[in-house]
Amino acid sequence: MKNILILICAFVIYGCEKQIPYKNSDFEKKLVVNAILEADKPMLISVSSSVNPVQNPSLNNIKDEVTYLLIEDSVNLEYRTVNLVDGQFLINRMPKRGSIYELQLSCSNYPSVKMIDTVPNEKPIFTIDTLFRQNSDYKLKFTLEDNSSKHIYLVTLSVLGYEIVGGDTITVSRPVNFLSNDKVFLKNINNSTSSGSFGMFDDRLFNGSQKKLELEFTSSQLFGVNFMPKKLELKLSNISQTMFDYYLGLLENNHIYGGPLATYSLNNGNVLDGLGLFSFYTASRETYTIPQ
């Protein structure tokens, strides 16, 4: 009996150590589209390829031409074949607020893809109230004027200033990470107490009324070697439902336990038969001079 138990244990150990070959014969390369587009500005489209899990990833690895069809409100606008430059191509059309856009892409050796999104109709209306320093942090307060329409907002913050590069002075913009204790912001277990590069919220709690918000960030982000900060730029965007769903997936898949595989939620975007995101937003920007 003892010998039988030893023999069973040996088989179990051998089975645990045996390598199972990864079969990737079913892998099919797909186009990956990255297009987060602002209303009333030209459309810059980035195109790359999905990568086999056993290969090294490379960004913008398509050096071919693509054919695209752009449709606005069910009307064909433009059909062209263009060469990719650094994995990108430009459509010199200004997305109209309130319009629905469909983009179809085809490239040799890849399945054709299609994507659709609607441009948010209204620009956010807000004013920066004050900026003040408290110990090693800055606090920025602003007031948002919301109307009765449904809105989904995305907030980003940047510092504008001058940087000395090789004896020349150039104007630069740097992102600023921030946090907020306001309950309207969507948070997860990881970003509830730590700063991030963007904040996102909808207007369900204050629809059609005025809302005051406060952002907090470290003063060390505003200063650096050979850099002189001048202004803060607050950018408030009204984003499409498509963009909201995608960013929400980023938040939900950013847990402190186990990384992105620690949750069941995963949003691969709205590119049919491909991967990535094709979405629109309308934005307003305000600047505030940094006290010296």
| pLDDT band with cut points at 50, 70 and 90 for residue 7 | very low
Using CB atoms within 10 Å of the CB of residue 33, give its burial: 0 to 12 exposed, 13 to 18 middle, 19+ buried.
buried
Give the CATH number of the domain where residue 97 resides: 2.60.40.10
Domain assignment present for 14: no
| pLDDT band with cut points at 50, 70 and 90 for residue 256 | very low
pLDDT on residue 13: 43
Tell which of 81, 101, 118 closes a domain: 118
Q: H helices within the chain, ranges in order?
A: 2-17, 241-252
Domain assignment present for 275: no
Q: How many domains does the chain have?
A: 2
pLDDT at 243 over 60: yes
pLDDT on residue 247: 87
pLDDT at 59 over 70: no
Domain assignment present for 278: no
pLDDT at 212 over 90: yes
Q: What's 128's DSSP letter?
A: E
CA distance 283 to 99: 16
133 & 198 share domain = yes
97 & 51 share domain = yes
CA distance 275 to 254: 19
* 181: containing domain: 125-251+283-289
Domain assignment present for 205: yes
63 & 110 share domain = yes
pLDDT at 73 over 50: yes
Q: What does pTM read for this prediction? A: 0.82
CA distance 57 to 8: 42
- Average pLDDT of span 115-137: 95
CA distance 36 to 278: 6
pLDDT at 192 over 80: no
Residues 6+ apart with CB under 8 A from 88: 44, 45, 46, 47, 60
Domain assignment present for 101: yes
Domain assignment present for 104: yes
| pLDDT band with cut points at 50, 70 and 90 for residue 266 | low
pLDDT on residue 245: 92
pLDDT on residue 164: 85
51 & 134 share domain = no
Domain assignment present for 197: yes
Residues 6+ apart with CB under 8 A from 95: 37, 38, 39, 40, 41, 43, 101, 119, 280
Q: Which of 48-62, 174-188, 221-235, 254-268 has the lowest mean pLDDT?
A: 254-268
CA distance 32 to 90: 16
Q: What Rg, from alpha-carbon coordinates, does the chain have?
A: 24
CA distance 115 to 101: 8
175 & 238 share domain = yes
Of residues 231 and 254, the one with the higher pLDDT is 231
- Mean pLDDT across the chain, nearest whole number? 84
pLDDT on residue 81: 97
Task: Count CA atoms closer than 13 A to 62's CA, side-chain side.
Answer: 25
Q: What is the DSSP string of 200-268?
A: EEESTTTTTSEEEEEEEEEGGGG-BTTEEEEEEEEEEEEE-HHHHHHHHHHHHT--TTTGGGGSS----
225 φ/ψ angles, rounded to the nearest 5 degrees? -65, 130
| pLDDT band with cut points at 50, 70 and 90 for residue 292 | confident
